[in-house]
Copies of this chain bind each other. A is one copy, B any other.
Amino acid sequence: MKNLRYFLFLLAFLPSLAFSQNLAEKLGYSSDTKLLIIHADDLGVSHSENSATFEALKNGLVNSTSMMVPVAWSAEAAAMAQEIPDLDIGIHITLTNEWEDFNWGPEAGRTAVPGLANQMGHMYADCGPVAINASPEEVEIEIRAQIKAANQMGITPTHLDSHMGCIFYGRPEYLASYLKIAQELKIPAMINQQMIDNIVSPNSLLFAGLNVENFPLVDQLFMAEPKDYEAGMEAYYTNSLNNLTSGLNVILIHLAFDDEEMNAVTKGHDTYHAPWRQADYDFFTSEKARELLKKNKVQLVTWREVGKTM
């Protein structure tokens, strides 16, 4: 009788015992494992980006990517994706068009979501005008349109994330739509504690129907900034790989070749431009990066794997 009561007591606590496992343990690793996703953003933006990203997925260290849907080359990205079984490929929710002479408009069409298009029908160049002009309803329509179009190209996304972070830097409703849709699809959406503290918590009513706590949080997010590019990408990424901590680390990179097309796409920009993307490609296909991962006992994981813990 005493034993039975003890057993029932244990049973009652099992869910919270399971909940107390951290992400690494849920994935079958020891609790202090340095998990890492090496994630190539902006797939689909150009032929150069597609070629470099798939080269790095096949022969380099990149193990996850996300595609921009409303862009001219997204169908090529989707076709290339068929060549890698179980590829980790998300939707890089795109609300902006940051390049001068290479343009796209909203997937849902400017008539359906006029707040996401400038007077030329292109998306705005940065997140500010998006937040001013695009209603939460329009952003939700556009997110759904991008996912639907990707589905029609044969892509079942493994995760969601946000081009230029406009989902995070826009209105809190955008984040609510993003998480709601990810929850519907039962896939992770990239999010961290900072976003919970700064966007979710102060706007709890907007997130009321969502199990936000169910989303795996990114513990450390690395993305090179202009000063890092100036100081040299090898130094930045070497430092990043030497400073991974236990938990979920994500390195966001942008891969393309420093070629004619990519220079034309990124014309007039001196950051995130063709040579920057070539430097990302060079590092994450290098022997040095491979050795750093080994030396630092890094466990590569994909968003698909992480999603299974939800």
Taking beta carbons and an 8 Å cutoff, which residues of A are in contact with B?
47-48, 71-76, 79, 100-112, 119-122, 145, 149, 152-153, 259-261, 264-265
Contact = CB atoms under 8 A, between A and B. Distances in A.
B120 A152 contact: yes
Given A109-B121, A152-B120, A153-B120, A75 B47 contact: no
Contact of A121 (B48, B102, B149): B149
Contacts of A72: 71-72, 102-104
B75 A100 contact: yes
A248 B75 CA distance: 41
Copies of the protein in its oligomer? 2
Nearest to A76: B101
Contacts of A76: 101-102, 264
Contacts of A109: 105-106, 108-112, 121
Contacts of A79: 100-101
A103 B120 contact: no
A120 B149 contact: yes
Chain A, interface SS category: loop
A183 B149 CA distance: 38
A189 B100 CA distance: 30
A74 B122 CA distance: 11
A76 B261 CA distance: 12
Contacts of A149: 120-121
A151 B149 CA distance: 30
A13 B78 CA distance: 67
A235 B175 CA distance: 61
Given A108-B109, A109-B112, 10 more contacts: A47-B261, A48-B261, A72-B103, A108-B111, A109-B110, A111-B111, A119-B152, A120-B152, A120-B153, A261-B261
A72 B102 CA distance: 5
A124 to B, nearest CB: 14
Task: Please provide the 4 A-B residue pairs with the shortest distance between their CB atoms, ordered closest to farther.
Answer: A109-B109, A76-B101, A111-B112, A72-B72
Nearest to A141: B111
Contacts of A103: 72-75
A264 B261 CA distance: 11
Of A79, A105, A106, A109, which is in contact with the most chain B CB atoms at under 10 Å from its CB? A109
